[in-house]
Amino acid sequence: MSDQFIKSKAAIAWGPNQPLSVEEVDVMLPRKGEVLVRIVATGVCHTDAFTLSGDDPEGVFPAILGHEGGGIVEQIGEGVTSVAVGDHVIPLYTAECGECKFCKSGKTNLCSAVRETQGKGLMPDGTTRFYKDGRPIFHYMGCSTFSEYTVLPEISLAKVSKKAPLEEVCLLGCGVTTGMGAVLNTAKVAPGDNVAIFGLGGIGLSAIIGAKMAGANRIIGVDINESKFELAKQLGATDCINPNKFDKPIQEVIVEMTDGGVEYSFECIGNVDVMRSALECCHKGWGESVIIGVAGAGQEISTRPFQLVTGRVWRGTAFGGVKGRSELPELVERYLAGEFALNDFITHTMALEQINDAFDLMHKGESIRSVVHF
Ligand code: NAD
Ligand code: AHE
Ligand code: ZN
């Protein structure tokens, strides 16, 4: 154990709804089972904005946000064996210990090993590695990629090919893996299925890629911002519709378009009213709706139970059901083999000092993904 630290540039969220403040922080060196990572690039996901808004029940401040990063191992703590200095890694907000009840179940990617402390903004030993002038700063989703240097548990790192540009594969740390995984792992869309994807941001567009890979028939993109439609169609959407352009509920429109409803729908927004539409546009008897979007504290979903009685299914997914350490390296290989592109998603790049612009662009609906380069 060491009480030594290094200096790092980081964007600190001092409180809800405040712009991030780029400052120099002290990062304590990794302890047993921990790894110090130099972040090369990080995407900005809507979940970062969600937590910054104060709506996240697990949001604690001051914190260093960011969870969609790519980096290089700088130093390892005692007992670390699965990564070495110089390895390229993607931080995981869903760890994979391989030993807990969840990992062993074969039914879920929701490892429980570090989740409790992670949700409190702390390392597994209940302490933080970040300090500003002696004041502790919380971690975020176990990743804190809005810092040049960050510390993670070994089990929260996926080691990936050094051939992959970290400035692009950082997007596999959340958005692209989540959207593709929701379609391919969680829903398991089959060739010929009709799907509807609500919300065409980084997650929804990735779901379109997954649907196209799965051989879906109709891929219906739904968004109130029509500037998202061009890329959605380029990626494989067969139809793009704006709910505000219809004089009836969008679920009725989709049911009519698809002879009774879609096989699968995906909510990629975090709006509980849209979650209802997404369920109700599913086909009677077998349609399944997958919730991906994250909704704020106190919000609840509702529908007539008859919707479920008559065979529709509501389910959710985290990180696309992907087990990060065992499955993400393979996804990086598939990216390197040219099976899907990532640069389509990167509408803006910027230095950490401009990170607040990334949030502004997201809120104005002008970006898909902003990527911060350190
Ligand atoms: P984003 O802001 O890039 O995209 C959201 C899209 O939804 C935008 O195109 C916006 O125009 C559209 N939209 C907003 N309101 C709408 C409405 N009423 N009807 C139709 N479209 C509407 O966000 P993102 O980064 O793609 O994230 C999407 C959601 O997924 C967020 O809630 C995020 O927190 C969540 N998320 C969940 C997971 C998970 O593992 N479950 C992972 C990543 C992100
Ligand atoms: N902290 C929130 C929930 C946030 C949430 O649902 N997070 C998703 C990932 S969003 C990534 O952009 C997730 O994986 N959840 C599962 C988990 O274990 O965190 C709350 O409501 O408390
Ligand atoms: Zn995310």
How confident is the model over 144-159, as pLDDT tens digits? 999 999 999 999 999 9
Alpha-carbon span 37 to 75, nearest angstrom = 7
Please give the structure tokens belonging to residue 92.
């995981």
Is the shortest distance between the CB of 319 and ligand 2 below 6 Å? yes
Is the shortest distance between the CB of 270 and ligand 1 below 6 Å? yes
132 Cα: distance to centroid of ligand 1 (angstroms): 32
Check residue 349 and report its DSSP letter. E
Question: Which of 3.30.1490.20, 3.90.180.10, 1.10.490.20, 3.30.420.40 is the CATH number of 5-173+341-373?
Answer: 3.90.180.10
Alpha-carbon span 13 to 54, nearest angstrom = 11
Q: Which residues form the catalytic set? A: 45-47, 67-68, 97, 100, 103, 111, 115, 174, 369
Ligand 1 atom nearest to 362, measured from its CA: 2
Cβ neighbourhood burial of 266 (10 Å; 0-12, 13-18, 19+): buried
SS3 call for 82: coil
Give the pLDDT of residue 308: 98
271 Cα: distance to centroid of ligand 2 (angstroms): 15
Q: Which amino acid is at 303?
A: T
Answer whether 55's CB lies under 8 Å from 296's CB. Answer: yes
SS3 call for 264: strand
Q: Beta-carbon neighbour count of residue 116 at 10 Å?
A: 11
0.95 exceeded by the pTM?
yes
Q: Beta-carbon neighbour count of residue 245 at 10 Å?
A: 10
Q: Best substitution site from 42, 44, 47, 144 to test ligand 2's pocket, by max atoms within 8 Å of Cβ?
A: 47
Answer whether 91's CB lies under 8 Å from 150's CB. Answer: yes
Ligand 2 atom nearest to 297, measured from its CA: 21
Strands 149-153 and 34-43: antiparallel
318 Cα: distance to centroid of ligand 2 (angstroms): 7
Ligand 2 atom nearest to 295, measured from its CA: 21
Average pLDDT over residues 339-349: 97
156 Cα: distance to centroid of ligand 1 (angstroms): 24
**308-330 burial, b for 16+ CB within 10 Å, e for fewer?**
eeeebebebbbbbbbbbbebbbe
How confident is the model over 346-374, as pLDDT tens digits? 999 999 999 999 999 999 999 999 999 99
Q: Give the 3-state secondary structure of 157-211.
A: EEEECCCCCHHHHHHHHCHHHHHHHHHHHHHCCCCCCCEEEECCCHHHHHHHHHH
Average pLDDT over residues 21-30: 98
Q: Please give the full DSSP string across 97-121, using - where no structure is assigned.
A: -S-SHHHHHSS-S---TTHHHHTTT
pLDDT above 90 as % of the chain: 99
Q: Best substitution site from 50, 51, 55, 93 to test ligand 2's pocket, by max atoms within 8 Å of Cβ?
A: 93
SS3 call for 71: strand
Question: Which of 3.20.20.140, 1.10.3720.10, 3.40.50.2300, 3.40.50.720 is the CATH number of 179-317?
Answer: 3.40.50.720
pLDDT above 80 (res 2) = no
Give the pLDDT of residue 1: 35
27 Cα: distance to centroid of ligand 2 (angstroms): 25
pLDDT above 70 (res 77) = yes
Query: Which ligand lies nearest the alpha carbon of 145?
Result: 3
Q: Which residues contact 220 (CB under 8 A, 6 or more apart)?
A: 194, 195, 196, 197, 237, 238, 239, 240, 241, 254, 257, 258, 262
Give the pLDDT of residue 233: 98
Q: Give the 3-state secondary structure of 1-30.
A: CCCCEEEEEEEEECCCCCCCEEEEEEEECC
Domain ranges of the chain: 5-173+341-373, 179-317
How confident is the model over 181-238, as pLDDT tens digits? 999 999 999 999 999 999 999 999 999 999 999 999 999 999 999 999 999 999 999 9
Q: 309 pLDDT band (50/70/90 cuts)?
A: very high
Please give the structure tokens belonging to residue 12.
């600190």
Q: Which residues contact 75 (CB under 8 A, 6 or more apart)?
A: 29, 30, 35, 36, 85
Please give the structure tokens belonging to residue 232.
């959605």
Is the shortest distance between the CB of 266 and ligand 2 below 6 Å? no
